Amino acid sequence: MSNELKRKAVHVSMIAWALLIGRIEPWMVNVICCAALLFNIFLLRRITFGTLERQQEREQGYSIGLLAYPAVLLVIGLLWHEKQIVMAIAWGAMAFGDGFASVIGTRIPSPSLAWNRAKTWSGFAGFVVIGFVLTWLFVVLCLPPSVREGVSLEAWTLIIAASVLAGAVAESQEGFVDDNITVPLASALVAWVGMSATLPLPPMPQNWLYGLLAVSVFAVGSVVLRKIDVAGGIAGWLCAFAIFLGGGWTCLGLLFVFFAGGSFASGWGFAEKQALGVAQENGGKRSVVHALSNGGVAAACGVLAWLFPRDAMMYQTMLAASLAAATSDTFSSEFGTLYGKHFVNILTLKPEKRGLDGVVSLEGFAWGLLGSALVAIVFSVGLAWGWATILVLGAGLVANVLDSVLGATLQRRGLMTNHSVNFAATLFGALLVLAVYRFFA
């Protein structure tokens, strides 16, 4: 058996530990995940002699995937402590869906995905079909009925299907961090939202049909003008409507500020950027991975603002902060590389070449401040001026700094890509707002 098949066999078999969900206390499951993480850090490599690692992982001395597997389950278990069926679904999507996707994709010839030429439709279909069937069987037949929270079997079928599909989409994206992080997190979030949707849904916002029309015109226009490709246009359409759903015209305006401002910034001085070797790839044309890495967090906040209207202002502020982070980063990198005078590493403050990951300039920071301020101003004009204005502005700037720090560290070492760094920065901006609301509001 090849090392890759051994790795996948272990990957799938670890779902056996999930049989404890609903049979022992939630904190005990979290302790087991923590113990598994420590085991993988200190003992797994010594016991297996590196046979579960790929060649690149052996050379660098560790495997992000083997460490991320128990770590992300621990995070999910802590986030949804009393709803550990969310962990079970995410675990199933990761073990069954992700486990079989690469095996099937490499053994059954089929066309490549339009949005990622390195992935095939057979692998994507294997993830969805096998992931759904085995996860459904596991949750429904192998776990105690009490974990299903009294939700009907029909509803759980739809929730599991949507969660596995979300995991498959996350797994198929090019340029994100390890699948063992993105797949379970995407599946867990969808499962949790699905559980919440089994409660009486709030009404659709006023004029939602006009919002749907505006989003559709915006998406189609962006594709026609070649600002984004077709797959990216569909992803952008979904993100935009989710944002409108929870934030109305104001929050949709924030997305427009980011997209229009970012497209303008990418195109500004494009020939000069090409000469410097810092121009955005594909002529500045966005794709699905751009839409998700910059707008995915905002879309999730929009859905949450709609589902939980009592906390709508908090989620809308989180939405604004995530887009402020994305706009600030785009302005810093696109304008800063053109107009910066002195470029330094953000950590060492030593001079380095412009355009390198983690290299910043004072002028770039000023442009980032402008980008974050634009989002904060539009947000405040549409909703309310006050401390939330400063919160959105500050969260966007701090997240932009984090983006540079990650670029200077993890991205340079090949552990993250530009897209995963962007996603992490937008998520951090939103979480900063959440922390302020939880501890100070």
Q: pLDDT tens for the chain, 441 residues: list them.
A: 566 677 778 889 999 999 999 999 999 999 999 999 999 888 877 787 777 666 766 666 667 777 888 999 998 998 888 889 999 999 999 999 998 998 898 889 899 987 778 889 999 999 999 999 999 999 999 999 999 888 889 999 999 999 999 999 888 876 556 788 889 998 998 998 888 777 677 888 888 899 999 999 988 988 888 878 887 788 889 999 999 999 999 999 999 999 888 888 877 776 776 666 665 665 556 667 778 888 889 998 998 899 888 899 999 999 999 999 999 999 998 888 888 889 899 999 898 988 888 899 999 999 999 999 999 999 999 887 888 899 999 999 999 999 999 999 888 877 778 888 898 899 999 999 998 987 876
- pLDDT value for 105: 87
The residues near 340 (Cβ < 8 Å, ≥ 6 apart) are: 354, 361, 362, 363, 364
Please give the biggest Cα pair distance in the chain: 64
Tokens of 366: 């000023």
Q: 359 forms bridges with which residues in the sheet? A: 345
pLDDT of residue 276: 63
Q: Which DSSP string corresponds to 346-375?
A: TTT--B--TTSTTEE-HHHHHHHHHHHHHH
pLDDT in tens, 185-234: 989 989 988 887 776 778 888 888 999 999 999 889 888 888 788 877 88
Residue 245 has a pLDDT of 92
Q: Taking the CA of residue 285 as centre, how many other CA atoms within 13 Å lie in the half-sphere pointing to its CB? A: 13
Q: Distance (Å, rounded) from C-alpha 25 to C-alpha 43?
A: 26
What is the pLDDT at residue 263? 82
pLDDT for the residue numbered 175: 58
Residue carrying structure tokens 């085995």: 134
Q: Give the span between the Cα atoms of 142 and 104, in whole angstroms.
A: 25
Using DSSP, state whether 314 is helix, strand or coil: helix
Which of 339, 301, 304 has the alpha carbon at shortest distance from 426? 301
pLDDT above 70: percentage of residues in the chain: 91
Q: Which pair of tokens denotes residue 414?
A: 């090949």
pLDDT of the residue at 281: 60
Residue 355 Rama label (left phi>0; alpha psi -120 to 50; beta): left
Angle, helix 179-197 to helix 85-92, in steps of 10 degrees? 140
Q: 113-172, pLDDT tens digit by residue?
A: 877 788 899 999 999 999 999 999 999 999 999 998 888 899 999 999 999 999 998 888
User: Which two tokens mark 325?
Assistant: 């982070």
What residues contact residue 274 under an 8 Å CB cut-off, 6+ apart?
Answer: none
Task: Give me the pLDDT at residue 439, please.
Answer: 80
What is d(CA 236, CA 256) in angstroms, rounded to the nearest whole number?
A: 11
CB atoms within 10 A of CB 25: 10
pTM: 0.74
